[in-house]
Structure 1
Amino acid sequence: MKASDAVASFLLKHQINTCFELVGGMITHLLDSFAETKQFNIISMHHEQAAAFAAEGVARYSKGKRIGLALGTSGPGATNLITGIGSCWFDSIPCLFITGQVNTNEQKGKRGIRQQGFQELEIVEVVSSITKFSIKIEEVSSLLPTLHKAVSLMLSGRQGPVLIDIPNNIQKMDVPNSDVEYWVNQPLIMEITPEPEQKDLLKLLSLCADSNKPLICVGGGARNSSFLSDWLQVLNNNNLPYVSTLMGHERTTVTDCYFNMIGSYGNREANWAIQNCDLLIVIGARLDVRQTGSDTNDFARNAKIVQIDIDPSQLDNRICADLNFCCSADDFLKSFQISSSTFPNLDKHWINQLRNIRSQADRDEYPESEISPSIFFKLLNDAMHGKRVDYVCDVGNHQMWAAHSIRINSEQAVHYSGGMGAMGFALPAAIGVAVTSQSKVIVITGDGSLQINIQELDTIKRLNLDITVIVLNNFTLGMVKNFQDMYFNGRDQSTKKGYSSPSFEKISKAYEIGAIRVSNINQVKDALRVVSQNCGPMLIEVLMEGATECRPRLAFGSKLDEQFPHFDISSQ
């Protein structure tokens, strides 16, 4: 069997059948083999970065149960994938990246020259620090064993991306049918992760027994756990409060015991809860500076801290916990069952304190704005209430506005670019989500972010996907402009001075996608009504000139519950 055909057979066996790519000479054998099976959904993008983000969308939607796949040709095709590879690495997304490479006899080898073949580039060396596994195939006999290893690694332990670089001549060599049969049917070798130790579970129970004001924090490492929903329901049943990180917010549904997102751009009630609890159980969050603020000594100032993480390097990193569990969120949630007797000394007023704080903090942070971000997202929540929808957010102030205010139910999810924080993520990632979910996807983006991969409007039109792009156009790169206002006396080089944005309504129509432009809150209400009823591509351009702040936010060096603008919260 031809090697590229063998690759296709292996991928289909493992249900990796949606492929995003931008065609190039060194991947034509693979694409031809995929197409000839009649079982692949091959989606041609207009940039390899967009292909990488779209593959990420497939894996994100499936909670890491399906592997995303993106292809790039040698040289620039491979380097254009890198931002998407990094995004998968930091947010623990299982994606397979396959790059074509020049023929083995055209490669520079160990010679001290920069390049031998046209578009030759050692992509494996470039991405080695942001992949779980990356390798160039040197012999056709190693191709299928390497694929088997790669898929096993992607899905094992802390998930993440892999890259396999396949020279063009190897793609067209023969693989013995017996080898194909063996490797296609060989079970994956999954990494065994440690389970929580009984002695540590007993220590945790002791901490819970002593606690009056407990709080649970759901991190990105817990968001895809199959046990999370039922576990949180037990918290709700027992009036136990919980918060989330930005990534944990992706799948944490609105309830009376959920107090929203912590951190520098977090909700006031969540940060107040962190700073006033006496026991903080953190599940799958790395406690980075955006989650804790810069003053680590003051984080959770009154609390014993328990941290659960699958990655041992993340434990006792910035924050030294009183008790650590090195295990998966699944194993922890399965092992640590909360009941009505887990917190015998629970302060019955604790949950009501938090509800009072949340009620006070639920206010319009932008009363001066014609279209307030706070009000906009409340209207979006209302418009999509009870509907199945995935939100995909780009990076900028609009991402934080969304994280502050989007409230999801069990049929909904939000997807953020977390660790990489890549502008241009949302539109292509939404394509991956939409082709997998076959239901409505709403992109939340800004004028700066949308322009990075705006060409993929053509892709959603070609595929007739049910994607609504909401672009919050403040004619500024607002988040960095906000930094400039704080630290550079408002000097706005490259955020306003030297920056421009077009009419997205006109661009959308050029792609033959229906568009609505709105400039006041009544027009917003009408447009969102259309969004809730529409099925197919559309774009809403929301004019918000001057809206460049994210409120509340934490100035560097401030304590977590001292966000700007100051708002005096009473716990009575």
Structure 2
Amino acid sequence: MNGADYVAAFLRHRGVGRVHCTAGISCALMIDAIARQPGIDYFTHFNERSAALAADAVWRSARRIGVAMASGGPGAANLISGIACACHDSVPALFITGRAAIERTPIAAMAAPIAKKTFEVTCAADLPRILAEAWDLATVGRPGPVLVDIPVAVQTEPVDLPILPPQIAPPLPPPELDEIAATLNAFLAEGARPLLLLGGGVGQAGIATALADWLRRDRVPFVASWSALACFDHDLPSYLGAIGRHGNRGANFALWNCDRLLVLGSRLDANLRGSDPRYFAPSARIHVIDIDPADLARLAADGYQTSCLDLRYLPQLLDQLTAPQPTRAWHDYLEETRARYLGRDISTFAQTHRVLSPYAVIRRLTKGLALDAVVIGDCGANLCWLFQMFHRRRHSLFAAGGLAPTGYAVPAAIGAVLEQPRRQVVAVVGDGGLQASLQDLQTLAYHRLGIAVVVFNNNGYGLIKQYQDQNCDNRYEASGRLYSVPDLERIAAAFGIAYRKIDHVEQIGADMFLTGGPILIEIGIAEDMPVEPQVPADGQISHQSPALSDDERAFGGRFVPFDRPAPC
């Protein structure tokens, strides 16, 4: 056995059935070893970026560690987008690169700021320790990506060492749960208008079922970040919607008016809080529970109460919490908010211009999918429309929201469908995102992968255009001007992929997703269709678009008036 053989055997021992890769000289020996190793195989992509994004989607769709492999130099550099996606969204993944004798691209140093750790193997005797440590590290604490760079010389070096067993790390030792519970019970009891905010950490901890049971039992009113939207059934009666710059209007109203905010598993980045945190729940005391001490220290500096807790212990903590008792006025307000805004299309543009509403499309799409479908968003306007309107039951719904690279959804869908071959898999992209991943259509066609690629075609970068409307006097430089889209029907025909054009929402039906192979579904959207609602970057929801009516201003500022100065 040589070093390359050892890598293949190690991955098979860890239960990896598939390694996403693109061929290259300095990883060719490892790919060959994988092909010869029983019980494991490789899956090739036409670009290392696609391989990395597919590996990122393995955990998101199946809760297994995804593995991507690439050659050194430009191949390794192409992995960066996938590594960054896994970093920003706390996704465990293993990236393995080969290194030539003379290597001018120091991938370990390049990836270090966006990986939990990078390793450079110097001799074959270190392979057992490094691979085992890398694998375990990916899931310990806050999960994330790990990179191992292996020279060709090490790949050819003889190895006569056993594969080390995985070190199953227990959850971080809990602090005194009784003490945290007492603090939270007092925190919630002192408020009249309590609210819960769920972040992506609750999904990473694998405690969604226990959390949903608690929410259903105690009827705790809650909102969510986009990364938490796949953690619960959106029919839960106390759910109010997603918050943030492109969040639900009613959910943002609830956040503005609450006086106690308990945050579970969110780092509260700028997409949620805005650039000026003074406008985030301005009258509330805020308590954040998360696993990352660094994030908690940052939030504590803003005056928030914090508790460091591995959220795998959250069910035990919830058992000790007393259900908050909101006032009747707050209860009635949230009920009205939910009825008024949750799942509602408030787009004024589509109504005024009598054009197809992307929100109506997403609502219809939700009804046409199987309840366990895997739905993956890309970036830009199409991602906003999807996450603003999709009504999740048992679906898997995700995107690389932290980094949000153009062209994520299609290669991620490839990673997902290989892990979940019996489930419907849908990639929702824009025309820009599709053009960033055209080579992946050949992968879909060659393997006859059952992926529906839904393309919102607005002939440009819609969300960038909306920014340019606000900041560049409607000059669409590089987003509309000198931008072009090919004939998507001819593109589908060239790859031998089924095609459907949607001009009216009534044309969307369940039959589109039962083709037995890939299909490209083009949805024509007005070029200047905006994302609505949109909150300004600083987080002042009173200045959002479309503009609030007098009635909405009074409703949205019922407990905390919009015209009050932001606290210092």
Residue pairs, 1:95-494, within 5 angstroms: 95-103=93-101, 117=102, 120-176=104-160, 179-180=161-162, 183-184=163-164, 186-188=165-167, 190=169, 193-197=172-176, 198-255=178-235, 256-317=237-298, 320-337=302-319, 341-343=322-324, 345-361=325-341, 362-365=344-347, 366-367=350-351, 368-384=353-369, 386-410=370-394, 412-438=395-421, 439-494=423-478
Distance in 1 (alpha carbons) for counterparts of 2:50 and 2:268? 29
Distance in 2 (alpha carbons) for counterparts of 1:316 and 1:289? 16
Distance in 2 (alpha carbons) for counterparts of 1:272 and 1:337? 29
**What's 2:73 paired with?**
75
Distance in 2 (alpha carbons) for counterparts of 1:424 and 1:565? 28
CA contact (8 A) 2:368 2:508 kept: no
CA contact (8 A) 2:258 2:281 kept: yes
Distance in 2 (alpha carbons) for counterparts of 1:172 and 1:468? 42
What's the TM-score, normalizing by structure 2? 0.92
Distance in 1 (alpha carbons) for counterparts of 2:330 and 2:218? 12
Distance in 2 (alpha carbons) for counterparts of 1:561 and 1:430? 38
What's the CA shift string for 1:187-239, capped at 9, x where partnerless?
31637524243323211111122233221111111123322222223222322
Aligned letter for 2:523? V
Distance in 1 (alpha carbons) for counterparts of 2:105 and 2:25? 14
Return 248-257 or 282-291, whichever deviates more: 248-257
**What's 1:107 paired with?**
none
Distance in 2 (alpha carbons) for counterparts of 1:393 and 1:517? 19
Deviation at 1:313, TM superposition (A): 1.0
What's the CA shift string for 1:121-174, capped at 9, x where partnerless?
211111111111112111110011100110110010000101111111211211
Aligned letter for 1:133? K
- Can you give the 5+ residue segments of structure 2 that lack an aligned partner in the other structure? 559-568
What's the CA shift string for 1:501-538, capped at 9, x where partnerless?
1122211121111001122x2xx432433224333210
- Can you give the 5+ residue segments of structure 1 that lack an aligned partner in the other structure? 104-116
The 3 A distance-change label for structure 1 pair 78 and 369 is farther
What's the TM-score, normalizing by structure 1? 0.91
What's the CA shift string for 1:79-101, capped at 9, x where partnerless?
01111111111111111111010
The 3 A distance-change label for structure 1 pair 353 and 41 is farther
Residue pairs, 1:86-101, within 5 angstroms: 86-101=84-99
Aligned letter for 1:86? A
**What's 1:564 paired with?**
545
Superposition CA RMSD, Å: 1.9
**What's 1:59 paired with?**
59
Corresponding pairs, count: 544
CA contact (8 A) 1:473 1:544 kept: yes
**What's 2:565 paired with?**
none
**What's 2:563 paired with?**
none
CA contact (8 A) 2:20 2:45 kept: yes
Deviation at 1:294, TM superposition (A): 2.5
- Percent of residue pairs bearing the same amino acid type: 29
Q: Does 1:542 align with 2:523?
A: yes
CA contact (8 A) 1:516 1:527 kept: no
CA contact (8 A) 2:277 2:539 kept: no
